[in-house]
Every structure is written in structure tokens, then in C-alpha cells.
């Protein structure tokens, strides 16, 4: 699966998302312009020592992503979307698209792909969730639907805990 961030602005969010991608084996796509340098210390700190596990792709614009991944299904995550992410049926090659923190996915993209737009339900008056939290919620639902394929049953921490260490 793929996570696509259109013009992310906050390095800590992107670092957290990169760490998530590393942990679940998803590819990360960053669509320019980025609101930070990829050498940014906050980006590196948030991703800690996971960067070598992440396959990161950089794109000049979103049209480039659409062209390169023609044939893949795209899901556009937005607070404006008509249906919940839990209603979507995700597959192993899907592209989960998220917009920048301050504005979300551009309305022109949402309008063009309205039938593929999904949202995370929230109470009335709540503007939005943090970007990295939103990515985690949708990504783990997508992984759950695929029975967490390619993920380890238990990490080293659980094995150590069970063995009393």
C-alpha cells in the first residue's frame, strides 16, 4: 500500500508518518512543495532510526503521482468526504491520499474524485484530527482488512515480556 501526502507542512507529522510506513511496510509519497527540508532535524527526530526502512518517493505535483500509478485505486481522505473510511474496501496496492495540515486536499482534486473520498467520523464542530493520527487510523483499517499481511505476529518487546525479561 501507499501513503501519499500532498504538500505536507509540518516535519514532525511527516516523520511520524514515515515511522508508521516503516512499521507496516507501506511506501510514502511526498508531493511538492514541502513545507520543510527533508534534512530537517525535526523530521529526522520524529522518524528516529526508521528512515532506512521507508521507501520514500518525491513527486513534483499530484498529477505526476496519478500518471505514475495509473491503474491503482486512490482513496482521498478529507473531512469533507461523503462516507466513512470504515465503509471502504481496501486492497494491497491502494493509494491513501492526505492533504496538507492547513488546508487538506485541494477541492479541485476532491471534486474530480468525489466517489473515492473518505473521512474519519467526528462530532459536529470538530475541525479535524492531526494529520499523522489520521493517516494511522486509515492505514491500520486498511491493514486490518488485509489481515495484517506481512506484519510480524509479535515484536521483540512482547517476546521479552512473555519470557519475563
**CA separation for the pair 81, 78 (Å, rounded):** 5
Is the pLDDT score of 160 beyond 80?
no
**Using CA atoms, how far apart are residues 139 and 123, in angstroms rounded to an integer?**
21
CATH no. for 2-162: 3.40.1280.10
pLDDT grade for 127, boundaries at 50, 70 and 90:
confident
To the question of whether residue 134 is assigned a binding role by annotation, the answer is no
**Is the Cβ–Cβ distance between 121 and 137 less than 8 Å?**
no
| CA triple 126-36-18, angle to 5 deg | 70
Residues 74-103 as b/e (b if ≥16 CB within 10 A, e otherwise) read bbbbbbebeeebeebebeeebbbbbbbbee
Cα separation of 122 and 114, whole Å? 19
Cβ contact 154:97 at 8 Å: no
SS3 27: strand
137 is in an annotated binding site: no
Residues 87-100: tens digit of each pLDDT: 999 999 999 999 99
- Map out the domains of the chain as residue ranges: 2-162
For the entire predicted model, the pTM comes to 0.88
The response to whether 108 counts as a known ligand-binding position is no
Amino acid at each position: 500500500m501507499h501513503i501519499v501526502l500532498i504538500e505536507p507542512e509540518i516535519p514532525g507529522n511527516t516523520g511520524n508518518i514515515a515511522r508508521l510506513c516503516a512499521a507496516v511496510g507501506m511506501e510514502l509519497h511526498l508531493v511538492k512543495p514541502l513545507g520543510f527540508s527533508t534534512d530537517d532535524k525535526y523530521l529526522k527526530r520524529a522518524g528516529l532510526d526508521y528512515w532506512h526502512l521507508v521507501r520514500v518517493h518525491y513527486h513534483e505535483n499530484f498529477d505526476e503521482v496519478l500518471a505514475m500509478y495509473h491503474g491503482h485505486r486512490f482513496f482521498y481522505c478529507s473531512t469533507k468526504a461523503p462516507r466513512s473510511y470504515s465503509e471502504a474496501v481496501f486492497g494491497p496496492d491502494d493509494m491513501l491520499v492526505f492533504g496538507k495540515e492547513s488546508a487538506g486536499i485541494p477541492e479541485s482534486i476532491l471534486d474530480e474524485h468525489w466517489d473515492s473520498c473518505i473521512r474519519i467520523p467526528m462530532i459536529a464542530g470538530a475541525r479535524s484530527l492531526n494529520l499523522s493520527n489520521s493517516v494511522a487510523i486509515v492505514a491500520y483499517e486498511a491493514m486490518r482488512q488485509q489481515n495484517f499481511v506481512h506484519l510480524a505476529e509479535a515484536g521483540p518487546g512482547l517476546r521479552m515480556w512473555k519470557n519475563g525479561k
